[in-house]
Structure 1
Amino acid sequence: MVKQFVDAQIKNNKVVVFSKSYCPYCKMAKSALSDAGLKEYTLIEIENRDDCSDIQDYLLSLTGGRSVPRVFINGKFVGGGSELKSFQAKGKLVPMLKEAQAL
């Protein structure tokens, strides 16, 4: 069930962030998206979900990492907080979001 949930979120949304509300790297990723001008995206805070650990296990199989955030743009895993902050600093995040028709 976790696989279907995660796959559907990635497939059906232009930008998806799997996050934990208290995580500093998650905050970094959300700030980078906000700084890029993105107002609406799919945010899944997993820490209070019964399947939190299962989601992280499945994200590990998809992305090679279990930690959050796991950010997907246009169905493609693009990284976590550090990567998004770097993309934004280098002016690469806005073009990625525009290409995904999220901006």
Structure 2
Amino acid sequence: MAQIEMYIDPFCPYCARAKRLLTSKGVTWTEIDVVAEPKLRAAMRERTGGKNSVPQIFIDGKLIGGSDDIHALDAKGGLDPLLAA
């Protein structure tokens, strides 16, 4: 099973949308709350090459991007193979 990390803001509707997609796939993920621990936003920016918006989703250490990115990947049929890895 793939390791999924998601940088989130608990009040972000895009984060909720990404979580719904992953829930529908039956996978679990680690949430990194950048509101509860603001120093983690700096770590997120470093990992993403400067992106500051949430969610930022990683699968097995590879940056997928945000909610629109993971939904587009799913629409192309590319998400399930990553999740199964």
Question: By the TM > 0.5 criterion, same fold?
Answer: yes
**1:21 and 2:10 are equivalent in the alignment:** yes
- Greater mean deviation of Cα atoms: 27-36 or 71-80: 27-36
Give the C-alpha shift of residue 80 in structure 1. 0.9
Counting aligned pairs with the same residue, the percent is 33
TM-score normalised according to structure 1 size: 0.70
TM-score, normalised to structure 2's length?
A: 0.82
CA RMSD of aligned residues (A): 1.7
SS in 1 for 2:63: strand
4+ residue segments displaced more than 3 Å:
none
- Higher helix fraction (1 or 2): 1
The answer for unaligned runs of 5 or more in structure 2 is none
Structure number, greater radius of gyration: 1
1:21-57 CA-partner distances (Å, limit 9, x unpaired) = 110111121122122221x2212223122xx1x2212
Distance change in 2, residues 1:16/1:73 (3 Å): same
Q: Once the 2 structures are TM-superposed, how far is the Cα of residue 78 of structure 1 from its aligned partner?
A: 1.1
3-state DSSP of counterpart to 2:7: strand
In structure 1, what residue type is equivalent to 2:17? M
Identify unmatched segments of 5+ residues in structure 1: 1-12
- 1:20, 1:69 within 8 Å by CA — same for their partners in 2? yes
Paired residues, what number? 83
Q: 1:72 offset after TM fit, Å?
A: 0.9
